[in-house]
Structure 1
Amino acid sequence: MIRSTRIWLPRTSSRGSRKIESVSQRRTYIKKSSAQPATTRASTEAALRKYYKERFGSFRDQDPLVISLYKKVLEQIENRVSSRAKISVRAQIVSPKLCDDVLAYIGPSLEKHKGCDILDLNPGVGLWSSKLHDFLQPRSHILLESAPDHFEDYLNPLVEQPNSTYKLVPGDITEFATFERIIDEGHFPHQKRVSQGQARDPGLNDSLLVTGTLFWDPKLPGKGFDSMSKQLLASFAKMAGNYDLFHALGQARMLFWTPTEDMRYLLPKSQITVGKGSFWHQISVDMAEIVAGGQEARAGGRGTSGREPRYMIESTYRAMQRAKANGIELPAHRREYLHDFADDIGKMSGGTGMMSSEDVSKYLLEQELAGKPTTGLIADQTIESWHLDHSMGIQPKIVRDGGRTRIRGEPKTSKKYNKPCVSVDVPDEEATSLTSVSQKRASALQSEMNRIRADKLVDVGEDIYHLECDILALEDGAEKNDKVKKVEEMQKEFDRRLNSDVQSHLRPTLISILDDRISIRSPVRRLSWDSRPFEPLIMQPHEVWPPNEASLADMTPLPPLRGDDHDHAEYVRDIIYGLFEKPGRPLPQALENMHHGASEIMENVPVLRDPKRGGRLIMDNLRIRMLTVEMVEGLTKAWREWPFRDPDATHSNYFRMKGGSRPLGDFDL
Structure 2
Amino acid sequence: MIPSRRHVSKVVIQWPRPQPRIPKTLPLSRSFYGAVAGKRNNTGDDASPPRSFIYATETPLAEQLDSLGVYRRGIAWVGDMRKRWIAAEAAKKAAVEAAKESVPEAGKEVDVEQKGRCRATHGLTRLRKLVAAVSPEEKEKIWETIFDAERVFQIKKEKTAKRRQISEGVPELFDDRPPQAAKIAHEALKLYEENKFTEAERLRLEAELSLIPLHRPIGRGKVAVEAEKVKKAKKRAFDKSELTKILKSGDKTRIHVVNEKLCDDVLKSIPSSLERHKGCDIIDLYPGTGLFSRKLNDLLQPRSHILLEPEPQIYQEFLEPILQRPGSRLVPKSGLVWQELNTVLTPEFLPHQEIHKQTLGQAPTRNDTLLVVANLGFYPNRSYMNFKSIVSMVTFQLIQAIRLRNVFQKYGLVRMLLWLRPPELDSILPKDLTGRRRPAAEAELVTEHIAEICTSEERMERHPGYNRHATLELHSCRRVLDRMRRLGLELPEGRETSRFMRHVLEAEAAGQELPKLGLIPDEKTPHQSPGEKRVEAEDRSIQATWNFDKGISAWAKTRQVHGWELSNIRQEAKALWIDVHEKQNLAKSGNSDPALLKEIERLQGLFDKKAKEWNEKFARFSYGRSGMHKVSDDYDTFHSDPPLLMWDRREVEPFLVRPEEFYPNIPLSFVDIQPKAANPMLLENGPGSSRHGDNFDIMLKALFHQRSKPVAKPLSEMAHGALDGMNLESIESLKDPRVGGAFMKGHDEVRPIKMNERQFLDLLVAWMRWPFRPSYTELVTMRRGDPQEDED
State the TM-score bracket (shorter-chain normalisation): 0.7 to 0.9
**Distance 1:626-1:637 versus aligned 2 partners, 3 A rule:** same
Counterpart in the other structure of 1:309: 470
SS at match of 1:580: helix
Q: How far 1:577 moved relative to its partner? A: 1.5
Counterpart in the other structure of 2:740: 614
The one of 280, 284, 290 equivalent to 1:126 is 290
**Distance 1:357-1:165 versus aligned 2 partners, 3 A rule:** farther
Counterpart in the other structure of 2:663: 545
**Distance 1:63-1:137 versus aligned 2 partners, 3 A rule:** same
Counterpart in the other structure of 1:69: 65
Q: Say whether the 8 Å CA contact 1:145–1:171 is kept in structure 2.
A: yes
Larger mean Cα displacement after TM superposition, 211-220 or 480-489: 480-489
Q: How far 1:56 moved relative to its partner? A: 4.3
Q: Say whether the 8 Å CA contact 2:733–2:739 is kept in structure 1.
A: yes
The one of 610, 613, 631 equivalent to 1:490 is 610
SS at match of 1:125: coil
Take 1:222 and 1:69, find their aligned partners in 2: how far apart are those partners? 28
Q: Say whether the 8 Å CA contact 1:114–1:136 is kept in structure 2.
A: yes
Q: Say whether the 8 Å CA contact 2:361–2:680 is kept in structure 1.
A: no
Q: Which runs of 5+ in 2 are unaligned?
A: 1-25, 38-47, 76-248, 540-548, 586-596
The one of 421, 424, 435 equivalent to 1:273 is 435
Counterpart in the other structure of 1:204: 366
SS at match of 1:13: coil
**Distance 1:621-1:144 versus aligned 2 partners, 3 A rule:** same
The one of 711, 715, 721 equivalent to 1:587 is 711
**Distance 1:566-1:545 versus aligned 2 partners, 3 A rule:** farther
Take 1:167 and 1:473, find their aligned partners in 2: how far apart are those partners? 63
Take 1:298 and 1:444, find their aligned partners in 2: how far apart are those partners? 14
Q: How far 1:526 moved relative to its partner? A: 1.4
Q: How far 1:406 moved relative to its partner? A: 10
Counterpart in the other structure of 1:460: 569
Q: How far 1:474 moved relative to its partner? A: 3.6
Say if 2:574 is the partner of 1:574: no
**Distance 1:483-1:105 versus aligned 2 partners, 3 A rule:** same
**Distance 1:213-1:532 versus aligned 2 partners, 3 A rule:** same
Q: How far 1:584 moved relative to its partner? A: 1.9
The one of 42, 52, 55 equivalent to 1:54 is 52
Take 2:343 and 2:764, find their aligned partners in 1: how far apart are those partners? 36
**Distance 1:355-1:331 versus aligned 2 partners, 3 A rule:** farther
Letter in 2 for 1:654: L
The one of 497, 504, 507 equivalent to 2:623 is 504
SS at match of 2:431: coil
Comparing both structures, which one devotes a greater share of its residues to helix? 2
Counterpart in the other structure of 1:603: 729
SS at match of 1:183: coil
**Distance 1:248-1:449 versus aligned 2 partners, 3 A rule:** closer
**1:435-480 deviations in whole A, cap 9, x for unaligned?**
xxxxx99975665555445433322222233333333434265544
Larger mean Cα displacement after TM superposition, 608-617 or 518-527: 608-617
Counterpart in the other structure of 2:310: 146
The one of 4, 10, 13 equivalent to 2:29 is 13
TM-score (norm 1): 0.72
**Distance 1:603-1:144 versus aligned 2 partners, 3 A rule:** same
Counterpart in the other structure of 1:135: 299
**Distance 1:224-1:403 versus aligned 2 partners, 3 A rule:** same
Take 1:69 and 1:555, find their aligned partners in 2: how far apart are those partners? 29
**1:279-325 deviations in whole A, cap 9, x for unaligned?**
11221223221222124555555xx3x22211111112111112222
Larger mean Cα displacement after TM superposition, 182-191 or 649-658: 649-658
Comparing both structures, which one devotes a greater share of its residues to strand? 1
Q: How far 1:496 moved relative to its partner? A: 2.3
Q: How far 1:120 moved relative to its partner? A: 0.7
Counterpart in the other structure of 1:174: 336
**1:121-180 deviations in whole A, cap 9, x for unaligned?**
1001001101111111111111111221221121123212xx433211111122101222
Larger mean Cα displacement after TM superposition, 443-452 or 465-474: 443-452
Letter in 1 for 2:572: D
**1:413-438 deviations in whole A, cap 9, x for unaligned?**
xxxxxxxxxxx99xxxxxxxxxxxxx
Letter in 2 for 1:336: S
Give the 5 Å matches for 1:196-595. Answer: 196-197=358-359, 200-286=362-448, 287-295=450-458, 298-299=462-463, 301=465, 304=466, 306-331=467-492, 333-344=495-506, 354-357=516-519, 403-405=529-531, 448=557, 450-475=559-584, 477-500=597-620, 502=621, 504-505=623-624, 507-563=625-681, 565-595=689-719
Take 1:532 and 1:463, find their aligned partners in 2: how far apart are those partners? 29
Counterpart in the other structure of 1:412: none
Take 2:496 and 2:526, find their aligned partners in 1: how far apart are those partners? 35
RMSD (Å), alpha carbons? 3.8
**1:182-217 deviations in whole A, cap 9, x for unaligned?**
123611121112234599334011000101100111
Percent of counterpart pairs with the same letter? 25
Q: How far 1:346 moved relative to its partner? A: 6.3
**1:62-84 deviations in whole A, cap 9, x for unaligned?**
322112222334477369xxxxx
Take 2:307 and 2:412, find their aligned partners in 1: how far apart are those partners? 19
**Distance 1:147-1:357 versus aligned 2 partners, 3 A rule:** farther
Counterpart in the other structure of 2:143: none
Take 2:301 and 2:657, find their aligned partners in 1: how far apart are those partners? 26
Q: Say whether the 8 Å CA contact 1:213–1:257 is kept in structure 2.
A: yes
Take 1:236 and 1:460, find their aligned partners in 2: how far apart are those partners? 42
**Distance 1:480-1:528 versus aligned 2 partners, 3 A rule:** farther
**1:579-598 deviations in whole A, cap 9, x for unaligned?**
22222223344434444553
**Distance 1:633-1:18 versus aligned 2 partners, 3 A rule:** farther
Letter in 1 for 2:783: K
**Distance 1:522-1:480 versus aligned 2 partners, 3 A rule:** farther
Counterpart in the other structure of 2:176: none
**Distance 1:191-1:74 versus aligned 2 partners, 3 A rule:** closer
Q: How far 1:90 moved relative to its partner? A: 0.7
**Distance 1:320-1:442 versus aligned 2 partners, 3 A rule:** closer
Q: How far 1:254 moved relative to its partner? A: 0.3
Take 1:589 and 1:552, find their aligned partners in 2: how far apart are those partners? 38
Take 2:62 and 2:527, find their aligned partners in 1: how far apart are those partners? 54
**Distance 1:335-1:405 versus aligned 2 partners, 3 A rule:** same
